[in-house]
Amino acid sequence: MAGVWEKVNPYCYKISQTYRKGMRVPGIIYADDELIHMAERDRALEQVINVAFLPGIVKASYAMPDIHWGYGFPIGGVAAMNVESGVISPGGVGYDISCGVRLLRTNLIAKDVLPMMGSLMHELSRNIPKGVGSRGKIKVSRREMEELMTKGVKWAIRKGYGWEEDAEFTEEGGCLQGADPSKVSSRAFQRGLDQPGTLGAGNHFLETQEVVEVYDERLADALGLYKGQLTVMIHSGSRGVGHQICTDYIKVMDRAVREFGIDLPDRQLGCAPITSQEGKDYYAAMACAVNYALTNRHCLAHWVRQSFEYIFRKSAQSLGMGVVYDVSHNIAKFEEHEVDGRKMKLCVHRKGATRAFGPGHPDIPKVYRDIGQPVIIPGDMGTCSYVLVGTARAMTEVFGSTCHGAGRVMSRSKAKRQIRGDMLKRELEEKGIVIVAGHISLLAEEAPQAYKDVSKVVEICHGAGLSKKVAKLKPLGVLKG
């Protein structure tokens, strides 16, 4: 793909709309010289070009610096579609619908907790169901799950899980409107009945972390963060429910593409017009998975608070364990954005990308509205994670979006071949990180070497003005499936 892109500035590269016949918009990739070449080798740039073919796409096919190859769309991709003439695509959301991150603050000082970190992680491990196919403490009937899918975290709060104010600090108030359980298959229901409140496996984790760097005191203070503080980060998604809904609707979209005569450069971009019955059905089912994922992280936070209460013999309220924010990574949403001077209703696909609305947006919690929406960027278990806020520039350039994490550089199978889980565990423990893993052999899949440098990814987003750095968090204890 030599000569496919041109460098716009130190943080941005462009693939011209004229590069390939059929592209409706250009490709815009936020990266540096090293990451753009990595994306090229990974075939992810080919996917940026393919997405540019989709009907109704507005402005550009975007990619964040954590871009890597995914199903149809690249992971790290952002594409906004005109709701009248555009399409919606399961590949633009991904299999783990609404995979995302929740950050809890505490009023504990990390260095004071270090002597009991082993006990704390053991208690968290005892309380948090984890691993492939793990079953949770919450088991719901089909009728209850329908309510969960339509009410989101408010269903869980009514059941006694979590705090009333948690919903305000969750994207969409903890419930994406438009969910319709009648559009979800029996198989998806079956897979989700005993999984609310489970961590899962793969890249999902729960970490206790220390705030080791504050870049902007005013922003950090507004988020209730300060240097030396202990925080808890939860990274999980919609489990088997989201995976099954994606699987089901990929088949539906295969048929829809033929029915509507949509010409695609890659079958994995399967889609349907947003206004079609197939498009509406997918959105309604996807929203069910989104609400399942938000509720899942909400319930996990409940077990975290209970674990802290047991170890520290204090209530979670007295430990200051409020939610900083909860934001999803894999989602398609109807949003209003200004395009060429006029407001447009768009369906914004963010696959491995995070919403990052700038200051003043009404969808941001009131207490954060002056500073912009909190953005939580998980790293790998050996280095660090970040907290940022959205910017006005992100609104004008990329529909209020930024990166979602480090981004893989090595497949899971290659990581397992090259890295031994037991040795990795020892290396991390020598760095002072307590590791609790359900399957030590699977730990290697998520080794730091399998990911890009999250600090570099975040620095590009900060330098490009898509989000602003607030704080850096270092892992002290890691719980993996």
Is the predicted pLDDT of residue 1 greater than 70, yes or no? no
* Residue keyed to tokens 């793990």: 134
H or E stretch at 9: strand 6-9
3-state secondary structure of 66: strand
Of residues 10, 330, 40, 274, the one with CA closest to residue 48: 40
- 107 pLDDT tier (thresholds 50, 70, 90): very high
3-state secondary structure of 192: helix
Is the predicted pLDDT of residue 367 greater than 70, yes or no? yes
CA dist 179 and 290 (Å) reads 9
* DSSP collapsed to 3 states, 391-434: CHHHHHHHCCEECCCCCECCCHHHHHHHCCHHHHHHHHHHCCCE
Q: Is the pTM of this model over 0.85?
A: yes
Average pLDDT over residues 9-26: 97
Of 112-126, 181-195, 329-343, 406-420, the range with the lowest mean pLDDT is: 406-420
Active site residue 302: no
CA dist 421 and 414 (Å) reads 13
The Cβ of residue 333 has, within 10 Å, a number of other Cβ atoms equal to: 24
DSSP letter assigned to residue 358: P
For 60-106, the pLDDT digits (tens) are 999 999 999 999 999 999 999 999 999 999 999 999 999 999 999 99
Q: Which of 298, 349, 404, 462 is catalytic?
A: 404
Is the predicted pLDDT of residue 2 greater than 60, yes or no? no
**To the nearest whole number, what is the mean pLDDT of the chain?**
95
| E runs forming strands in 263-355 | 272-273, 323-328, 330-339, 342-351, 354-355
Q: Which residues contact 394 (CB under 8 A, 6 or more apart)?
A: 356, 357, 358, 400, 401, 402, 465, 466, 467
Of residues 324, 439, 449, the one with CA closest to residue 381: 449
Q: Which residues contact 449 (CB under 8 A, 6 or more apart)?
A: 410, 415, 418, 419
CB-based contact 214:225 (threshold 8 Å): yes
DSSP letter assigned to residue 188: H
For 373-389, the pLDDT digits (tens) are 999 999 988 899 999 99
Is the predicted pLDDT of residue 463 greater than 70, yes or no? yes
CB-based contact 387:437 (threshold 8 Å): no
pLDDT at 241: 97
Can you read off the two tokens belonging to residue 282?
Answer: 């997918």
DSSP letter assigned to residue 86: -
Average pLDDT over residues 307-312: 98
Can you read off the two tokens belonging to residue 392?
Answer: 């006005």
